[in-house]
């Protein structure tokens, strides 16, 4: 039973309302299952929506943010818990320690870097936690096509590619993660 999921997502809202809606729906599904969410700690963008929704639903939401980003990313002050760490490495390590699974919602380079790091850790056997990608409004379709291309070209093994659970719907992605 998964009780805690680390969510990687953008501090920007993106250009489509679908991205914000997906964060609300994912948080709603997690709160309904009593799952705690761990995320980057910001009060803005997709991150802020995820946190605000969890708080509105009385769910548990834990942020982890490096001290240097507290003002820049506008740290959320109403979280269940906000951990302030010194470095990005500490941030990612603590987020991973606090979670039993990982999900990437729409986001930018930081989101991708965080997802690829936990995926690599999983491939190396450093953890056995499931991870998923929420492909809201086709946001990650070009990335998944590239990942399939990397597999087809022999740079990613099929078993490694299959480790990444991808779904268009927040509720279905959550159900698939919990089933692993």
Q: What pLDDT does residue 175 have?
A: 94
User: What parts of the chain have a pLDDT lower than 70?
Assistant: 73
Read off φ and ψ for residue 71, nearest 5 degrees. -85, -40
Instruction: Look up the pTM and report it.
Output: 0.96
Q: State pLDDT tens for residues 22-38.
A: 999 999 999 999 999 99
Q: State pLDDT tens for residues 6-23.
A: 999 999 999 999 999 999
Q: Residues 77, 43: contact at Cβ < 8 Å?
A: yes
How many DSSP H helices and E strands does the chain contain? Answer: 7, 7
166: left (phi over 0), alpha (psi -120 to 50) or beta: beta
76: left (phi over 0), alpha (psi -120 to 50) or beta: beta
Q: What pLDDT does residue 73 have?
A: 64
């Amino acid at each position: 039973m998964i009780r805690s999921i680390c969510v990687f997502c953008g501090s920007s809202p993106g250009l489509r309302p679908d991205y914000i809606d997906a964060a609300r729906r994912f948080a709603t599904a997690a709160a309904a299952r009593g799952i705690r969410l761990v995320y980057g700690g910001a009060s803005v963008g997709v991150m802020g929506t995820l946190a605000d929704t969890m708080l509105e639903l009385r769910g548990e939401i834990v942020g982890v943010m490096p001290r240097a980003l507290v003002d820049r990313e506008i740290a959320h002050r109403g979280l269940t818990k906000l951990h302030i760490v010194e470095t990005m490495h500490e941030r990612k390590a603590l987020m991973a320690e606090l979670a039993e699974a990982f999900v990437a919602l729409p986001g930018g380079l930081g989101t991708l870097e965080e997802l690829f790091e936990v995926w690599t850790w999983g491939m190396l056997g450093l953890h056995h936690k499931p991870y998923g990608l929420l492909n809201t409004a086709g946001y990650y379709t070009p990335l998944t096509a590239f990942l399939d291309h990397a597999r087809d070209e022999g740079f990613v093994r099929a078993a490694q590619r299959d480790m990444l659970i991808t779904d268009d719907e927040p509720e279905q992605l959550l159900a698939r993660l919990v089933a692993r």
